[in-house]
Structure 1
Amino acid sequence: MTRMRADLLALTDDSLITLANRGILKRAVKENASAPPELSESPDGTVEAVFADGTRTTLTTGVTLEAAPCTCGSTTVCRHRVMVVLHYRRKATVRDAEVGSAATESVSDAVVETAESAAGSATAESAAATEEQDVAAIGETRSAGVELTATKPWTPAEFSDDQLRELLGTRAFAAARKAHRAGYRATVHRATPQDPVAAVELSAVTVRFLVPGDLGYARADASRGARPDAIALAVWAFRVADAVDPAADALEVTVGNAADGSAAVTATESVPTPLADLLNDGVAHAGPALPAIFSAALRTLDAASARWPHDALVDLLDQLAAYRDRSARHDPLLTATLITELVARQRASTRDWVPVLGTEEAASTPLRHLRLTGLGARITGDSESRTVETYLAHPEARIVLTLPVTTAIPDGSTPPSAAALAARRTGSARLGDLAAGNVVTESAIRSANRSVRLSNSRVARTSVLPSTGDWSTLPPELLVGDLDAEAARLTTLAPAVIRPRVRGESLRAVVVDHVDEIRYLPGEQRLEATLHAPTGTATISQAHTGAAPGALDALAHTLSGEAGSLRYIAGSLTRQHGRLLLHPTAVVAGQTVHVPCYASATHTVPSTTALNPKDPLTEAITAALSLTAEVPHRGIRHLPPTWYTRAAESARALRRVGLHTAATTLEALGHSLPTASPVQALHLWATTHLRLQLTADHL
């Protein structure tokens, strides 16, 4: 009996879409149902197919699908090649069923009868499968190659450097070696029964190994020629992951030598001095020269490719500008957090932990054919601008991409309505359609922080199809059914001030069992509800904003079930003051994806209101954070005597609820600030604020 081709059996529907596209797969499924090709397989494994119109396709062992000869003349993966793989897989399924049936004949007559009945049922179901079932059931047809992987684990780390050099070429391999010397971070995803394709997420590109043991089927989602080094970087990431923890399904690793980041470390040393001046004078009293000094530090960080401090400093400069312009987007607590982050990253970089600087991150990378799922949007803004962030799940990469679009509001003009923002276009697609649809694009350009933009191109187009809200096919990294497990995962993360600065990091889709306790908090202008997943609960929390005036009403309407049975809710999942909070961006009710921020105020919030119960622990830590945030806002030189009195009272409150270390740190800050030098004061203050911030995150 000829052994079947493991490489062809390992090509799932999802892999075929990657190699060709969804349209070709659908057409191949449809034509296979009516006129499948005649297949023959030689002893050396060569598969030859003859179609009714005379077209011949030959799949030779060791030759990838793109390189396989087909008389149709197509230079890419045509429908004939895809049809051969689909038909070959189906024959393998029937053959496995027959072998399984024959193997059970020696057991007993009763077992034989049961086995024959099951085999007949399976064959009938296989023959009656529709096009939609074939396309939707990605990975359902398990191949001999995949089953072999389950019993004998395979890892891309097995590929040698010689194989990589031969595949990539000398120049691309040299570029990969240079990136390796600089050091980089990667998230490794091993093959699992749910997703048999091993993958590695790099800074701005994802590499997938579609066929076990075949380097020719390694694919990066960057445009052709954009990241030729990515496959080598992914293989080396697997080597590190296998050495660190060979059993973990997913693992974040640091690869290469971080010592080459010395230029970026030096660049971060340009930041503390102006930060100390800002802390001393205060945001409210910052002189006109300070933003210019920060701009010089910004250029230094950019030249050294220190992405994360660079982005944090950009946000800090925006906060300074917002205060100067008396904009509502200025937030003293956010300003304090950004200063703390810059200090924390500079400290970590001096301890040979250069990945906190993001030096390995590419500024932007054009991506090739992508299939994305809209997970809603969020609108923010003030009297000067409106920003829409659209969230798009990238299932193959197991991440969420964020598409930000900012619209300036001319002086004296009326801000655009939520409906008008939904109608705005980016590339060729409307923002509202992207947030609630299924997206196929060839014009995406991804940045290091997982933001993405769609370019205008007649060749590389973007199409959006309406979604019925079937998010069940999202990978487990993005679809949450166990909120208790997700809460536990969040506690294991490194502090946000030294994690990679990526947008949409906490965006998830949550499976809904039911929602109850819908309540409105009038003092905070906030709607809350309790979300019950199949396992665990979370608090849905949405605050009113003038940028999206109908969001609260629409959210209350969908949560009540009046728009249809609740199936999923997408949003940012965070832990705050001991609670798991979900800030929603989209709700699937019935067969419709609702995006609350785009809704008009046509519904009313629940008439029942509630007050948040006061928790002494939360109150103490919140008051302390507010107190320390006053320091960079007012400036050390401008702190009134009452600040020191309130600091002592806040320390006593922290000690009463058992937070003794936080209390001692705050007391030390109050005693030292008047006499410390500006740089010493900066580090004393940052240590105190950071401790309070981490305590609040882990309550």
Structure 2
Amino acid sequence: MTDAGTSTAVRPDLLALTPETLAALANRGLVKRATKELDAGTVPALTTDPDTTVRARFADGTTAALPPGTGLDEGDCSCVAPGVCRHLIALVLAHQRVAAADPGSAPAAFTDWSPGGTGDAALAEAVGARPLAAARRTFERGYAAVVHRPSPDHPEPRVELPTCAVRFPVPGEIAYALTDAAAALRGEVVALAVWAFQAADAMDTEERSVPVQVGGRPTAPATTLPALDAAVGLADELLAEGVAHVGPVHGGALARAGAALTTASLHWPAGALAELTDQLTAYADRNAHYRPESVAALLTELHARRRAAAHPGVLGTREAGDTPLRRVRLVSLGCRVHGTAQSLVSEVYFAHPGAGTVLVLRKTWTAPEGKELSAHQLATRRVLATPLGSLATASLVSESVRRTPSRALTVARGRLGTTTITPVGAAWTELPDPLLVRDLTALTAGWDGRPPRLIRPRVEAEAVHVVALSQVESVGYDPAEQRLEAVVRDAAGTRALVTSEYRPECPGALDALADALEGGATHISGSLHRSGGGVRIDPLAVLTPAGTVVPDLAAGDGSTALAAVGRRPSEPLTAALDEAMSAMAAVPHSGLRHLNVPARARIDEAATALSRTGLTRAATLLRAFTETLDDGAMPNQEALAVRSGAWLAAQLHLLVSSELRSSGAGSGA
């Protein structure tokens, strides 16, 4: 029992520690044990020193103390347990119960505060000299971050760093900061998060979520980035010769250039070059992964990032290659499978509630010689010593994962024993905003003003969320497009269109999706996109009263008869832009040196269609490109440069116009 005659002055920092925060600082088991002991009457005697140090004496003689201005890990306990022990947890919980029993106590009011108010001296005391020195080196190089200021609905200030998140659950006390980074990196990333808040505080904006560029020197112009210049030069060679005419030597050169970009910490161009190399390999192998439109977009992205290199965040400069995460809890949002019968790629998507992000675990599966694979067969294949089908509907707690700047997950070899996997249950319903979306209109409003996708950070699963459903209005199948379409409403009543196309590698997916939507679906996970003024959901999984359904891994041969859906009329502006981009994609496929007459004629027809729909600027740029092709002679380097510049100008305009069109921001750029 608590001593009746002792003083127990209230410590606001201890009152702010919720059970969830305590579990993150220690572990859930210790919190449950300490709570159970208090409920059973094993209550320590509490006293408070003049400096507000809270002390607890337990019946077995164990003593514990928590000084002010320090975290739990700096507390003192006479027991032999390392780190944060159950006695320190019990001290906090007992202090909270004493404060709650005071008739004059009141619920804590929301505190609008910024960790950026922490001075260097206090920061050094909180994180230590060595971590602070490491953080200073990162600061000198510069780094990007997203700062989330507190609000009544989300009272914890939070920072998204390139490879981890940091949150501050106790107002005015950075010592209690929580991060998903490994313990050895905690002090460094806390300092980086504090400096990110300082940068946001210096900005003239009232926005709750603020992207910032912290420290560093101004990014050098593209002409002084030799690795990027070399990569763009190889891209120009590919545009000139065409995918159909370059050999394996060019693919090897692209791979080496990508490695040089990674070494130079130019992570986003490196990612684009890696995808471009994969496209060349797919074409050489006659693999269905090859898409001319993807090649065209990747070549354009490399040039766009070079042109915008001086702007923060465009190159991914100086972001850590990857970061080991401490004990982290992840919630699976389903699985996407794509590829061919000979080679399939599975992507399991995990929500990270503590960071408010989605991470991706990717694995490639190759069929034995002479055999074929289907997505359903992968359901029994093991990842993290667990069948893929189980992993795609599970919660994962691990001390073995690492996170890349693009939010991909990797697993440390030989440490699977530090990973536990349990069924996902109702974990989707407990996800925080914006992982769990109840109002699609509010979510998509936050997308306005973003830079074009061509120069945004290359973040995996950028648009993946869980949407709470209030109604499934209709489910139908369009046989002409081989596409399932369903009209649903979110919890706020906003309509959205769920669309999923038939893929031969996942023959049972559409049947399973239709059954799940018609079986009382309450939530759906997937990639969200604005389309035609509304929201389109590309589904990953569906939560029903019977459990979680992952359509891509479902059994079946696709023979179930589905109700037909009426054909949706083609939207003229979107159709014209799509055809123009498809026509222009023939250029890097065949090459500027080898573009044939039918390909030129198709571009002319696309320009005419653009004019008819009012996209005159796009039409003018396409015609300007075709005019550079009038001379039938083999082009010299000067002529190639002119053609390349005209193609890039048109392609940039088309890609950005298409993005603006799909977002509802306008009819063109």
Scaled by the length of structure 1, what TM-score is found? 0.87
- SS of the residue corresponding to residue 289 of structure 1 reads helix
Which of these residues, 545, 549, 552, is aligned with residue 590 of structure 1?
545
Any residues of structure 2 matched to 1:202-213 within 5 Å, and which? 202-213=161-172
Deviation at 1:473, TM superposition (A): 2.3
Counterpart of 1:103 in structure 2 is none
Single out whichever of 543-552 and 570-579 deviates more from structure 2: 570-579
Output the CA distance in 2 between the equivalents of 1:595 and 1:221: 27
Single out whichever of 320-329 and 645-654 deviates more from structure 2: 645-654
Q: Give, as a single letter, the amino acid of the residue that structure 2 aligns with 1:368.
A: R
Output the CA distance in 1 between the equivalents of 2:443 and 2:46: 49
Counterpart of 1:244 in structure 2 is 203
Output the CA distance in 1 between the equivalents of 2:114 and 2:296: 44
Q: Is 1:453 equivalent to 2:459 in the alignment?
A: no
Q: Give, as a single letter, the amino acid of the residue that structure 1 aligns with 2:365.
A: T
Which of these residues, 172, 175, 183, is aligned with residue 216 of structure 1?
175
Which of these residues, 275, 279, 287, is aligned with residue 239 of structure 2?
279
Which of these residues, 27, 38, 52, is aligned with residue 33 of structure 2?
27
Asked if structure 1 preserves the Cα contact closer than 8 Å seen for 2:610 and 2:619, the reply is yes
Query: 1:69–1:177: structure 2 CA closer, same or farther, 3 Å change rule?
Result: closer
- SS of the residue corresponding to residue 72 of structure 2 reads coil
- SS of the residue corresponding to residue 431 of structure 2 reads coil
- SS of the residue corresponding to residue 490 of structure 1 reads coil
Counterpart of 1:197 in structure 2 is 156
Scaled by the length of structure 2, what TM-score is found? 0.91
Query: 1:31–1:487: structure 2 CA closer, same or farther, 3 Å change rule?
Result: same
- SS of the residue corresponding to residue 682 of structure 1 reads helix
Counterpart of 1:693 in structure 2 is 655
Counterpart of 1:59 in structure 2 is 66
Asked if structure 1 preserves the Cα contact closer than 8 Å seen for 2:541 and 2:548, the reply is yes
Report sequence identity in percent: 40
Counterpart of 2:498 in structure 1 is 540
Query: 1:60–1:202: structure 2 CA closer, same or farther, 3 Å change rule?
Result: same
Output the CA distance in 2 between the equivalents of 1:452 and 1:390: 10
Counterpart of 2:486 in structure 1 is 529
- SS of the residue corresponding to residue 76 of structure 2 reads coil
Output the CA distance in 1 between the equivalents of 2:24 and 2:639: 59
Which of these residues, 14, 18, 22, is aligned with residue 12 of structure 1?
18
Asked if structure 1 preserves the Cα contact closer than 8 Å seen for 2:478 and 2:564, the reply is no
Output the CA distance in 2 between the equivalents of 1:192 and 1:424: 44
Any residues of structure 2 matched to 1:601-620 within 5 Å, and which? 601=556, 604-620=560-576
Asked if structure 1 preserves the Cα contact closer than 8 Å seen for 2:242 and 2:588, the reply is yes
Counterpart of 1:309 in structure 2 is 269
Q: Give, as a single letter, the amino acid of the residue that structure 2 aligns with 1:582.
A: I
Output the CA distance in 1 between the equivalents of 2:97 and 2:391: 35
Query: 1:434–1:424: structure 2 CA closer, same or farther, 3 Å change rule?
Result: same
- SS of the residue corresponding to residue 389 of structure 1 reads strand
- SS of the residue corresponding to residue 564 of structure 2 reads coil
Deviation at 1:242, TM superposition (A): 1.1
Counterpart of 2:121 in structure 1 is 162
Counterpart of 2:361 in structure 1 is 403
Which of these residues, 87, 95, 98, is aligned with residue 88 of structure 1?
95
- SS of the residue corresponding to residue 283 of structure 1 reads coil
Which of these residues, 44, 49, 52, is aligned with residue 56 of structure 2?
49
Q: Give, as a single letter, the amino acid of the residue that structure 2 aligns with 1:690.
A: L
Q: Give, as a single letter, the amino acid of the residue that structure 1 aligns with 2:443.
A: E
Single out whichever of 369-378 and 531-540 deviates more from structure 2: 531-540
Asked if structure 1 preserves the Cα contact closer than 8 Å seen for 2:342 and 2:366, the reply is yes
Which of these residues, 639, 648, 658, is aligned with residue 677 of structure 1?
639
Asked if structure 2 preserves the Cα contact closer than 8 Å seen for 1:429 and 1:462, the reply is no
Counterpart of 1:268 in structure 2 is 228
Asked if structure 2 preserves the Cα contact closer than 8 Å seen for 1:379 and 1:386, the reply is yes
Deviation at 1:256, TM superposition (A): 1.6
Gaps of 5+ in 2: 1-6, 632-637, 662-669
Output the CA distance in 1 between the equivalents of 2:412 and 2:105: 52
Deviation at 1:260, TM superposition (A): 5.6
Any residues of structure 2 matched to 1:649-664 within 5 Å, and which? 649-664=605-620
Counterpart of 2:624 in structure 1 is 668
Counterpart of 1:474 in structure 2 is 431
Query: 1:489–1:64: structure 2 CA closer, same or farther, 3 Å change rule?
Result: closer
Deviation at 1:477, TM superposition (A): 1.7
Any residues of structure 2 matched to 1:324-339 within 5 Å, and which? 324-339=284-299
Counterpart of 2:86 in structure 1 is 79
Counterpart of 1:571 in structure 2 is 526
Deviation at 1:261, TM superposition (A): 5.3
Q: After superposition, what is the alpha-carbon deviation per residue over 1:254-310, rounded to whole angstroms, capped at 9, x for unaligned?
A: 112343656983321112222222112211122343223323322321221111101
Gaps of 5+ in 1: 101-141
Q: Give, as a single letter, the amino acid of the residue that structure 2 aligns with 1:329.
A: H
Which of these residues, 413, 432, 436, is aligned with residue 393 of structure 2?
436
Query: 1:157–1:358: structure 2 CA closer, same or farther, 3 Å change rule?
Result: same
Query: 1:445–1:631: structure 2 CA closer, same or farther, 3 Å change rule?
Result: same
Single out whichever of 495-504 and 262-271 deviates more from structure 2: 262-271
Output the CA distance in 2 between the equivalents of 1:89 and 1:464: 33
Counterpart of 1:359 in structure 2 is 317
- SS of the residue corresponding to residue 407 of structure 2 reads coil
- SS of the residue corresponding to residue 364 of structure 2 reads strand
Asked if structure 1 preserves the Cα contact closer than 8 Å seen for 2:131 and 2:187, the reply is yes
